[in-house]
Amino acid sequence: MPGHIPENILDDILSRVDIVEIIAGSLPLKRAGRNFKACCPFHHEKTASFMVSPDRQIYHCFGCGESGNAFKFLMRYERMDFPEAVETLAQKAGVILPKDESYEHQSGGQSTHLYKINELAANFYAHHLNSSEGLKAKDYLLKRGIKQETISALKLGLAPDKWDGLISYLRSKSISLNLLEKAGLVINKDGGGYYDRFRNRVIFPIFDLKERILGFGARVLDNNLPKYVNSPETPVYIKGKNLYGFNLAKDSIRDSDCVAIVEGYLDFLVPYQEGVKNIVASLGTALTIEQARLLKRYAHNVVMIYDADTAGEMATLRSLDIFIEEEMNVRIVSLPKGLDPDLFVRKHGVEAFKEMIVKAQNIFDYKLGVLKSRYNIKEIDDLAKVSSLMLETIAKFKNAVLKSEYLKKLAQGLNIKEEALLEEIKKVKTVKVSLNQHSAGIRKVSNVNPTEKLLMSLMLEENGLINRIKEALGPNDFQDERISRVVSIMFDLVGEGKKVEPQILMNHLGDDISELVCESVFLPQAQSDAHREKVVTDCIQRMKNESMKLERARLHEQIKIAQSSGDKERLEMLTQEFHSLIKTKAGKS
């Protein structure tokens, strides 16, 4: 926890925000008793194991172990650094942060600096596009059907044809070359020094949902290769978690419950400006589970739009299965040969484009059509291959009715007995289960003493028990180092007259201990005061017995060492200590 942000301010922020509201803005939460649950956003799962506690203001995933409070969620999910998360929640909570210099420096974390640098770079590129140097590039965009209002709205720009145009500009703003390299705007020369990554290219800034610029795409003005150069991944830009144009399209996507996905910047720009507002571009990478889940927050229907060169590629078909696993309805448009979405709209008009979207094929018909065009299903081996590839997709449907109907349809389409397909799909499921079991093994196994864990859980549930337990046990009586650390902090906080809350405790703990605490909070607790009291008494006694047993074993080992070494004085002292321990146990039993 950064020392520059006072603890009382962090506590105040956490007490004013609702973690359920924070997380519900990113994930579809469902009520589960006193808590809420969802599929974890931090690992791929099909059965919801991500729990959020409104009472304790924490979250915990029982699948991957990811845990924390509202600060931690923003840091992990939105990729904020700690000061950014504090600032975001402070603004939401109406808490005024201190203005001392040390804090201001801290709040200007690396991510904040990179966003500011990207903003300055975008302004630099936009200025050049709208200057006399940009006449050729401006003419290129206008001929491609991009209107001036679209150019302005999306901050399109031009990288000048110089090796150090941006470097010189940003260095005049006192920005270090190290930060420029971290932002992906410059490239390190082999012999030392730097040069601009983007030169003599049209620039497309990439925005996130908060209208911050994450990175850039850059296109040549002629037929030179590579046609596109893009920002590398940086601390603020991860291609697989973002979509071009999503900041503009999100409201329309939500309203229509449908999103059209294209591949390139111009494929987005032309349809969007002509009235297809629920459209995004995939930034030229294969679709990821993170992108699918981002879209699922806004819509359940997806229409993938491919040009003829891309349509039908196996990688394309596999990426569509991601939407099925997320229980989204996915359909596909394959445009006529030689036409991408940009050119199709300019040649045939936006209404024809919208009609193509309306008539999009479902994934079953599309994939089967592609496979039949590639394989000769009159040949037995090819028939088996096509059925196997189709079953991979059908197996991913969670809805039993859909799965059953698609199996019937596949049997008819390939003229295969349905019973044979049912046998084969069982094999697909078997492989899937074994893969899931393997991924589940990634989570580290923590062998925690159940008595110690239960006692910690009870203290977290009922602050009044902490002093009672403090009188009977010390932190060293807890054999698990992590629980001992948590208990020590709880004892200190109570000693300072502070309330112990899991969400506050998170600020004092590392990730591995936070996981343990959050998991404990979701344990079922003793229902009545009398029952709880008995459980506490039993736990304390069990731990004292365990502690005594360990001490007795330690003394026994020391006695053997003293005997073998002939140290009579130490042997006599250890023997007395051993007998004293036995008497103490006898007196208490």
Q: What is the pTM of this model?
A: 0.62
Say which residues have a Cβ less than 8 Å from residue 186's Cβ, sequence separation at least 6. 166, 167, 177, 180, 194, 195, 196, 197
Q: Would you say 269 and 244 are in contact if contact means Cβ atoms under 8 Å apart?
A: no
312-355 pLDDT, tens digit per residue, is 566 677 778 889 988 899 999 999 988 999 999 999 999 999 99
The CA distances from residue 402 to 116, 411, 534, in Å, are: 49, 14, 52
Same domain, yes or no, for 459 and 524?
yes
Q: Is 92 found in the same domain as 63?
A: yes
**Mean pLDDT, residues 189-199:** 89
Let me know if residue 443 belongs to a domain.
no
Average pLDDT over residues 369-381: 92
Q: Do 95 and 115 share a domain, yes or no?
A: no
Residues 218, 285: one domain? no
Per-residue pLDDT band for 447 (boundaries 50, 70, 90) equals low
Structural domain contains residue 197: yes
Task: Answer with the one of 203, 236, 269 that is the final residue of a domain.
Answer: 236
Q: What pLDDT, on a 0 to 100 scale, did the predictor assign at position 510?
A: 65
Distances in whole angstroms, Cα of residue 339 to Cα of each of 148, 311, 335, 345: 24, 12, 6, 9
User: What pLDDT is recorded for position 436?
Assistant: 43
- Residue 98: domain span: 7-105
DSSP class of residue 151? Answer: H
Same domain, 319 and 356: yes
242 lies in the same domain as 366 = yes
pLDDT band of 4, cuts 50, 70, 90: low
* Each residue's pLDDT tens digit, 491-502: 888 888 888 888
- From residue 185, alpha-carbon distances to 151, 156, 175, 454 in Å are 21, 16, 12, 52
- Residue 299 CA to residue 258 CA, distance in Å, equals 5
Same domain, 581 and 552: yes
Tell whether 329 is covered by a domain.
Answer: yes
User: Is position 204 within any domain?
Assistant: yes
Please report whether residue 219 resides in a domain: yes
CATH code for the domain of 130: 3.90.980.10
CB 328 within 8 A of CB 292: yes
Burial 61-86 (b: 16+ CB within 10 A, else e): bbbbbbbbbbbbbbbbbbbbbbbbbb
Question: CB neighbours (10 Å) of residue 529?
Answer: 9
Residue 153 above 80 pLDDT? yes
Per-residue model confidence as pLDDT tens digits over 195-230: 999 999 999 999 998 899 999 999 998 888 888 899
| Residues 117, 99 within the same domain | no
Residue 2 lies in a domain: no
**CATH code, domain carrying 346:** 3.40.1360.10
* Statement to judge: residues 468 and 582 lie in one domain: yes
Which residues on adjacent β-strands are paired with residue 53?
A: 58
Cis bond upstream, residue 226 (ω within 30): yes
Q: What would the two tokens of residue 225 be?
A: 């290769």
Q: Which of 236, 260, 289 is the last residue of a domain?
A: 236
Q: Are residues 13 and 25 both part of a single domain?
A: yes
**CA-to-CA distance for 419 and 337, rounded, in angstroms?**
39
CA atoms within 13 A on the CB side of 277: 11
Cα angle 373, 258, 254; round to 5: 160
Helix axes 380-394, 314-325, angle to 10 degrees: 30
Residue 192 and residue 84 share a domain:
no
Contact 42, 76 (CB under 8 A): yes
CATH of the domain at 45: 3.90.580.10
> Within 326-463, where are the H helices?
341-348, 350-358, 363-374, 380-394, 400-414, 418-440, 450-461
- With a pLDDT cut of 90, the percent of the chain lying above it is 44
Domains identified in the chain, total number: 5
Q: List phi, psi (to 5°) of 486.
A: -65, -45
444 in a domain, yes or no? no
CA-based nearest residue to 38, from 46, 29, 222, 47: 29
Average pLDDT, the chain: 85
Same domain, 184 and 259: no
Greater confidence, 166 or 453? 166
pLDDT at residue number 441: 35
Establish if 528 belongs to a structural domain. yes
